[in-house]
Structure 1
Amino acid sequence: MELAPRTHNASKVELEDVINSMPDNVVTNILDRLPIQCAVRTGILSRKWRYKWTLLTHIEFDADFYVYLLRRKIKNWFDVRNIISRLLLHLKGPITKFILNIPVDMVPDVEDINNWVMFLSRKGMKVFDLENMRVTPLELSTHIFSCVDLEYLLLKNCSLHSPPTFCGLPNLLYLYVYKVECEHLGETITKSPLLEVLSFQTCIGRIKLVDIVKLKNLKQLLLPLHLLDHTMITSSLIVDLGSYFPNLEELILDFRQVRVNFFFKTQLTRKLDPFDPALRLWVSIARYTSNVVLNDAVPPPAIFSSKLNSIILGQTQLQDVVIQSFQGLENELLLIKILLEGSPLLKKIAIHPLLKVFGENNERFKVATKLLTFERASPKAKVEIDW
């Protein structure tokens, strides 16, 4: 009868020994996977774990962190600043990942954030994610350009200016910029030669095409065409973009705020193979087709036969197409017709319409009926409309 408690106590002691004898690298791996508030609270596990949280290398002050603070009735920036600053100063080793989310109802002190960036630049930071949810842009200092170990950089609603002495971020692989104002944006980006993923969204600044094409390692590119420092956006320029990047796997072009001189024969005569970036370019054109403006001086032919489509399109290998913000415009319907008639492997075209344009069921029925009349090169091709 006395053996059971002894066995239980022995197993409990063994478990405690295993927890307390974990190597620091294993402990760090565990802590980095926990929310920051939970990682700090592991100090209550035992005396030996009291300061284990100081081994953290991944620091994330995200939306969940602010929810936790609100529950503790911490709402002003002064208290938040003290918590973050004290935590950073207690960390012993490198800080390879830092995520900072600034809520819309929080008014930060820019100097605090710039001081943290300067501190992190000396700690081997590889991942930096700064998302400013407020309306007012956050003005960053030049300290961000001294983080030479950066591999991943995401900036949202910020403004920054690269120093004259900036030589680039030699290890940067992923760059996402959203609502970012930067003087000499293109020149700044091209000083990071290893970039594989580059995504712009509603940025302020101009980019020279001669700068962007220097990034030969790019695999994914999201580019608003209005950022290009180009007098005229033509269909030939759009197609040529795919050939400038030998390793490109995905090209997404944003046609908003631009007028495109769109010549079907110029753009579509090129033969497409399954590994040609132009295939993905076509998917992207389909996504943003409502923003492509046809040149009034050169209207497309009124009727495209299946045979002509096959010659022009070169029998694409497209399988899935997504069309956003569909309005039922003539150029949208024409593009769908061409894709259906010239894509023998097509499985689905998913259409997401602007519902405010199709208020009446009668209008929806007319569009759906017209789509059903289009010939299909693929017997499996489906057209799905998300009403």
Structure 2
Amino acid sequence: MMPDNVVNNILHRLPLQEAVRTGILSRNWRFKWTMLSEVACNASFFAYLIERRVENSFGMVANRLLLHFNGAITKFALDLTLLNGEDILHLIMFLSKKGIKDLNLEYWSRPQVNLPTHIFSCLELQHLRITGCCFNPPHGVRGFPNLLSLKLCCVEFGGGDLGGFITRCPLLEILKLDYVSYTGSSVKLAEIAKLENLKILSFPLCHLETTSSCNVFELLGCLPKLQEVGLDFQDYNLTEAGAIKVFQAAFPSLKAFKITRIKFGNGIMLSRVLEIIRRFPNLQTLGFTAVQQADDPFPISIPIPNPEVEYNTMELQRVEFLEV
């Protein structure tokens, strides 16, 4: 008989449906799958149910299946697309009582589904990724005191105060926001500055409270542990007045810098980006995408740095041209 740690290693490498099917191997294997601590009810799992023409609702199947797990479920990935609101509520309530630490929720349909507020009862969460949902923190919510990484993609943030919510996750090391929409006030630099442990930041600049380029430097300067930064310039209307201040500080800890959806036809914006790059003496990876405005007189081209400016990027190893 194999030791439990070896069995668990095998089961964790299998899709959920295959892990459950190992119960037919022998009497000893019958309930081994119930020891799993990492579970994925993802698109592959639901495709399997469709292929087998399961008559019960997919949410009912997932809920009944999870009731068989004995210990804590520390990592869980769930595709919400084929589930109704009641199914989602029951699953989140269940996970909130199972010591969940790593949660990945995806929804690939319209209109976006509202996540139940029970998700804020998962106070042991360390990693949270949400794609394609409405995320509505209730007023006065404590946030996630143990959260290390937060990734929101194509999310409608309904809580209003995005910056305030972020500050209620004080241990954050990774913050990535992509196509996040919200109706509240812009994020303040002082709010991001509270995330003193932040190592990776991917952030739309249009969420900042002003359109001054010096704010970009201030944003980076208040986060000394940053190693990787991605700045999205879409809808970020930098003014000439906001580009005047020169910032002298360098950021030696930064190793990777990604610039997204920048307008190369905007000379002010381009000069500020080159000024930013100049402040990264140990930069190893530089990546960017560009967008072209309809009224740009010339096609997009790679800018030529000013030869009179010392860029101090001898550590640069890779330049990536990312897809638009």
For Structure 1 versus Structure 2, the TM-score category normalised by the shorter chain is 0.7 to 0.9
* Count of residues paired in the alignment: 310
Alignment of structure 1 residues 1-387 onto 2, 5 Å: 18-19=1-2, 22-23=3-4, 25-74=5-54, 78-103=56-81, 106=82, 108-180=83-155, 181-183=157-159, 184-205=161-182, 206-228=186-208, 230=209, 232-261=210-239, 266-267=245-246, 270=248, 272=250, 275-277=252-254, 280=256, 283-285=257-259, 287-290=260-263, 293-294=266-267, 313=278, 316-325=281-290, 327=292, 333=301, 335-338=303-306, 342-343=310-311, 345=314, 346=316, 349-351=319-321
CA shift, 1:339, in A, is 8.4
Report the TM-score when normalising by structure 2: 0.83
1:190–1:215 contact (8 Å) kept in structure 2: yes
**Counterpart amino acid of residue 192 in structure 1:** C
Tell me how far apart the structure 1 counterparts of residues 137 and 264 of structure 2 sit (CA, whole Å).
33
Aligned residues: CA RMSD? 3.3
Larger Rg: 1
**Counterpart amino acid of residue 321 in structure 1:** L
Q: Cα–Cα, structure 1 residues 121 and 62, in superposed 2: closer, same or farther, change >3 Å? A: same
Q: Secondary structure at the match of 2:248?
A: coil
CA shift, 1:134, in A, is 0.8
1:213–1:244 contact (8 Å) kept in structure 2: yes
**Counterpart amino acid of residue 142 in structure 2:** C
**Hey, which of these two has a bigger chunk of helix by percent?**
1
Q: Cα–Cα, structure 1 residues 63 and 339, in superposed 2: closer, same or farther, change >3 Å? A: farther
Tell me how far apart the structure 1 counterparts of residues 280 and 268 of structure 2 sit (CA, whole Å).
25
CA shift, 1:66, in A, is 2.5
Q: What runs of 5+ residues in structure 1 fail to find an aligned partner?
A: 1-17, 301-308, 355-387
CA shift, 1:31, in A, is 1.8
Q: Cα–Cα, structure 1 residues 258 and 40, in superposed 2: closer, same or farther, change >3 Å? A: same
Q: Cα–Cα, structure 1 residues 338 and 37, in superposed 2: closer, same or farther, change >3 Å? A: farther
Q: What runs of 5+ residues in structure 2 fail to find an aligned partner?
A: none
CA shift, 1:135, in A, is 2.2
Q: Cα–Cα, structure 1 residues 265 and 350, in superposed 2: closer, same or farther, change >3 Å? A: farther
Q: Cα–Cα, structure 1 residues 276 and 88, in superposed 2: closer, same or farther, change >3 Å? A: closer
Greater relative contact order, per chain length (Cα 8 Å cut-off, separation 6+): 2
Q: Secondary structure at the match of 1:323?
A: strand
1:256–1:291 contact (8 Å) kept in structure 2: no
Report the TM-score when normalising by structure 1: 0.70
Q: Cα–Cα, structure 1 residues 324 and 339, in superposed 2: closer, same or farther, change >3 Å? A: farther
**Counterpart amino acid of residue 187 in structure 1:** G
My pick for the range that moved more, 116-125 or 256-265, is 256-265
Q: Cα–Cα, structure 1 residues 319 and 340, in superposed 2: closer, same or farther, change >3 Å? A: farther
2:264–2:300 contact (8 Å) kept in structure 1: no
Percent pairwise identity: 35
CA shift, 1:168, in A, is 2.6
**Counterpart amino acid of residue 182 in structure 1:** G
